[in-house]
Amino acid sequence: MKLFRRGQSPLLNRSPIQNNRASHYMLLMLLSFAFSVSVTRLFLYLTGFPKIGGGNLHIAHVLWGGLLLFIGCLFPLVLANNWAHTWSAILCGVGIGLFIDEVGKFITANNDYFYASAAPIIYAFFLLSVLLFVQIKSWRKPSARGEMYIVLNDLNEVLDQDLSPEERDALLKRLQPIVQQQSEPELSRLASALTDFLASPETRTVEYNPSLIDKIQNAWFSFEIKWMTRAKLKRILLVLLIAWGAWALFYPIGYLLSSHDPNQLQTFIQAYLSDRLYRNASGFNWVEARVYMEGSLGLLALLAAALIIAKKEKLGVLLAYIDMLITLTVVNLVIFYFDQFSTIFFAIPQFVLLILIIRYRERFIHLPTVGQNPNSGA
């Protein structure tokens, strides 16, 4: 039996290589996705949920999402430029948002756009996308072949006459270990030739022009180093943790107080019945679960703040990190069912608080590891 086609090398290697800009494209897609869902729901709410079409004809925004997904898929298939991948990520993110926003219609027999489970499904899908982004950002197996893929991809800067001295130096640094390795001599020869080409004084370079994302990132690092000192960031974390803990206790306390007043409890239950959030007796169990989870995490946030104040910073920050992680991945799924998309306005500051906690841990608690950006630990 022939294992290889005619002219095919027995050393054929088609193992996947991660795009060196994969995390950048994923971030653009995530931001576009979140923006698309939030703006669509807000626009429809403010305009009274208008319909395009008449009679039996209704052009739902899922169709526009499908169109944008189609265009976004075409870009990297037809064009080789890096900007095509950037626009593909943005268009696909918006298209996914418009598509999944109508998930309620797809999972109900009566095409119920306002089906209560739609919001948790959308939020869970977004969380899974964030998890994929984190995995892509942290996973890349270094190899001479993988490094050469990155070099060849970045050489389009030469073709676009947009190669800066900083980018050339980065390419030369990346080529050096490929030249020195001996396991793959073909790659070593190619890397040596590219090194000679890039190091030649005849290779044209232009002034570095960072992308918008790079500008934002660089501006944030500069701001962080100059203004976000340990003391200031600690005070911000304490204020946000205490505010979050107090807010998380607001609903459980209100529920517990109303449960002792039959009239208030009846009004409370009637509101959920009118919104079709209670379909059977188990619905009340989910309300109790929400009360206990929110209350517990509110107390945990206050405990974390107290530990930080008591100079048990490492434990306090760890509890704060766990608190926000559980809130965003578990509790919000339940809250989205009851409060629907209004929860977005609370999920956004929760994400911001989690990012600040992570940055505080990276800069001031965890020791920097080999190869870590020195600015991140300033």
What pLDDT tens digit does each residue of the chain (378 aa) get? 444 455 555 556 777 788 888 888 998 999 999 899 888 888 888 888 887 776 677 788 889 999 999 999 999 999 988 889 999 999 999 999 999 999 988 888 888 888 877 888 888 898 889 888 888 877 777 788 888 888 988 888 888 888 888 889 999 999 999 999 888 888 899 999 999 999 998 888 888 777 777 788 788 888 888 888 899 999 999 999 999 999 888 878 876 766 666 665 556 555 555 545 455 445 566 677 778 888 899 999 999 999 999 989 999 999 999 999 899 888 888 777 767 666 777 888 889 999 899 889 888 886 443 344 444 443
pLDDT at residue 304, as a whole number: 95
What CA–CA distance (Å, rounded) separates 247 from 313?
23
Q: Which amino acid is at 169?
A: D
DSSP character at residue 367: P
Closest CA relative to residue 286, chosen from 326, 226, 248, 335: 335
> Is the Cα torsion angle 163, 166, 171, 175 positive or negative in sign?
positive
What CA–CA distance (Å, rounded) separates 328 from 130?
11
pLDDT at residue 259, as a whole number: 62
Cα angle value 241/243/246 (rounded, 5°): 105
pTM of the entire structure? 0.72
Distance (Å) of CA 83 to CA 70, 182, 211, 328: 17, 35, 10, 33
What CA–CA distance (Å, rounded) separates 90 from 76?
12
pLDDT at residue 137, as a whole number: 78
CB 354 within 8 A of CB 313: no
Take residue 174 and report the two structure tokens written for it: 């990346």
What CA–CA distance (Å, rounded) separates 187 from 340?
55
Take residue 52 and report the two structure tokens written for it: 């395009």
- State pLDDT tens for residues 63-97: 999 999 999 999 999 998 888 999 999 999 999 99
CB 291 within 8 A of CB 357: no
pLDDT at residue 269, as a whole number: 57
